[in-house]
Amino acid sequence: MTTVLIVCAVSAVLMVFTYTLGMYLESAGSTEHPTGGGDGFTVVFVVPCLNEERVIAATLRHLPDGPVLVVDDGSDDGTADAVRRLADPRVRLLRREPPDARQGKGHALNHAMRHLLESRPAFRRSADRVLVCLMDADGRLDAGSLDKVLPYFADPRVGAVQMGVRIGNRTQSLLTRMQDMEFVVYTRIFQRTRSRIGSAGLGGNGQVMRLSALLDLGDAPWSRSLTEDLDLGVRMVLSGWRTACVPDATVHQQGLVGLRALVRQRARWFQGHLQALRLVPPVVGRASGRVAVDLLNVLLSPLLIFVGSFMTLSLVASLVGVTFSSVAREQLFQPVPIVSWYMLTFGAAFLLGPLYARAGGDMGWVRGLGYGHLFIVYNLVWLVAAWRGLWRAARGRRAWLKTERLADPSPGPA
């Protein structure tokens, strides 16, 4: 039985590595840019926030021209006052009070959607030309990012575009550097390839959505899932829309500086992934071809994380056993077993490290290769977060775990 489990686990790892390699090779091709123009669109910025007085003012100052709706979801700090002090005629503050407030980010976004349609009924009539840009309270758009996104909407089939995400404080610590690498690798390998398929994932910060695509999902398009962005993107694709990603259009956000906070955030993401398993039957029934394969790979990824956790436990148990057996030590510490273990464990570092060095632009390939090895170790965070997320789900705890912000070091105007 043990042999069967080991074979299954190794097969799963090889399958994931092969899939990643395939995505890497496909993403290495030239990037296709839309040929149409991006003129004639109205962009509305929506910024949901909860206790974000440390960062909200700087975020609003960095936004390009256009109407801005700040959705204060029951903050009990100075968030609302920080928004009012800006005295910016573009910015409208929408306050939500308990008991309606703090029911989840999706609930707040649906409220913002209804408010927009009621306050500006013309938006519904011209929904194909109205774009909703969703920003987190700590988001910082790079100059020109929106200009790179708008041409994609010249294709009437495109319902949403996700910008590339970078960690603004990535040089602060090794942990923030690894988070930046996580976003860059995901964007440059998986998102670029998924964009060609038409099923790029939506990830909260820096997503731009066509209003008509949102309305296709109803007047309350966001679910109450803990990962409402994942849920929205899958349902949008199932409704016949294409989703794309533009890695060169960049939005920066804060990275977490504490390991405990990082596990807490990833546990929320993982629990939301578990909630998204309910979308598997619709994908099987309504999607086909590469789109179906891609969406199923995303939705079923929690199962692979659990496989990885069992493999890690198996490795630890093997190392413990080796310490008590001279025969096992002699068999293990041979060139072939050591090289095989190293390549199986760190082989991906030779792909991901140089890729990050090229994409990041602030290091050489040798340093990038070192980060690639550290990145493999960093991903053990997901194993801990997965079991925490499963434990929360089993106990019926579905409250949204708030991410604490750091004080903005440069709150000046863009």
pLDDT by residue (tens digit) across 334-376?
A: 666 677 778 877 888 998 999 999 987 788 999 999 999 999 9
Average pLDDT over residues 9-28: 69
The pLDDT tens digits for 156-181 are 999 999 999 999 999 999 999 999 99
Return the pLDDT at 109: 96
Confidence of residue 9 (pLDDT cuts 50, 70, 90): low
Return the pLDDT at 17: 67
Confidence of residue 412 (pLDDT cuts 50, 70, 90): very low
Q: How far apart are CA 181 and CA 27, in angstroms?
A: 17
Q: Work out the number of other CB atoms within 10 angstroms of the CB of residue 73.
A: 27
Reduce the DSSP state of residue 39 to 3 states and report it: coil
Q: How far apart are CA 282 and CA 160, in angstroms?
A: 20
Amino acid, single-letter form, for residue 255: G
Confidence of residue 410 (pLDDT cuts 50, 70, 90): very low
Mean pLDDT of the chain: 86
Tokens of 350: 């030779």
Q: Which 8-state DSSP code applies to residue 199?
A: B
Return the pLDDT at 336: 61
Return the pLDDT at 208: 97
Residue 125, classified by CB atoms within 10 Å of its CB into exposed (0-12), middle (13-18) or buried (19+), is exposed
The pLDDT tens digits for 281-335 are 999 999 999 999 999 989 998 887 777 666 666 666 665 665 666 655 555 556 6
Query: b/e map of 80-115 (b: 16 or more CB within 10 Å)?
Result: bebbeebeeeebebbebeeeebbbbbbbbbbbbbee
* DSSP code per residue over 82-125: HHHHH--TTEEEEEE-TTTSSS-HHHHHHHHHHHHHHH-THHHH
Contacts of 338 by beta carbon, 8 Å cutoff, 6+ apart? 332
Question: Sign (positive/negative) of CA torsion 252, 387, 280, 26?
Answer: positive
Question: Sign (positive/negative) of CA torsion 391, 400, 133, 177?
Answer: negative
**Shortest CA distance to 210 belongs to which of 36, 33, 67, 43?**
43
122 vs 1, residue with greater confidence: 122
Confidence of residue 220 (pLDDT cuts 50, 70, 90): very high
Return the pLDDT at 411: 35
As a three-state string, the secondary structure of 207-269 is EEEEHHHHHHCCCCCCCCCCCHHHHHHHHHHHCCCEEEEEEEEEEEECCCCCHHHHHHHHHHH
**Shortest CA distance to 413 belongs to which of 63, 44, 37, 31?**
63
Q: Among residues of the chain, what percentage have pLDDT more than 70?
A: 83
Question: Sign (positive/negative) of CA torsion 78, 82, 87, 92?
Answer: negative
Reduce the DSSP state of residue 346 to 3 states and report it: helix
* DSSP code per residue over 40-77: T-EEEEEEEESS-TTTHHHHHHTS-SS-EEEEEES--S
The pLDDT tens digits for 97-155 are 888 888 889 999 999 999 999 999 999 999 999 999 999 999 999 988 999 999 999 99
> Roughly how many angstroms between the first and final C-alpha of the chain, as a whole number?
61
- Is pLDDT above 80 for 10? no
Question: Which domains are present in the chain?
Answer: 1-409 (3.90.550.10)
Q: Taking phi first (over 0 means left), then psi (-120 to 50 degrees means alpha), and beta for anything else, what does residue 104 get?
A: left
Return the pLDDT at 83: 94
- How distant is the alpha carbon of residue 260 from its chain centre? 19
